[in-house]
């Protein structure tokens, strides 16, 4: 009698994925703990009454200018 080494998993839809062991198809964590902590800090900072999320900060302007000039230089180098 021949039996498969791996029992099929019914919650997967693809035939190949059904033959894989359960530890291979388990759900991975979405974020690392450090990232989750940073997200939580940012959410609490945005919920404070003195912070307006629609306000453009100095960091927003710096990030925009950095991205703008990086793209501008990449295009100029490509054209040259």
Who's near 32: CB < 8 A, 6+ residues apart?
none
**pLDDT tens-place values along the chain, 80 residues long:** 455 555 555 566 778 877 888 777 777 767 788 988 988 888 887 777 776 767 888 989 999 999 999 999 999 999 98
**Distance (Å, whole) CA 46 – CA 55:** 11
Q: Tokens 């964590």 identify what position?
A: 29
**Distance (Å, whole) CA 21 – CA 72:** 49
In the chain, where are the structural domains located? 15-79
């Amino acid at each position: 009698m021949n039996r498969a080494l791996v029992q099929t998993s019914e919650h997967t839809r693809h035939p190949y994925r059904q033959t894989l062991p359960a530890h291979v198809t388990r759900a991975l964590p979405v974020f690392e703990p450090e990232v989750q902590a940073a997200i939580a800090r940012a959410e609490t900072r945005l919920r404070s009454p003195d912070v307006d999320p629609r306000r453009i900060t100095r960091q927003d302007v710096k990030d925009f200018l950095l991205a703008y000039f990086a793209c501008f230089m990449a295009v100029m180098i490509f054209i040259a």
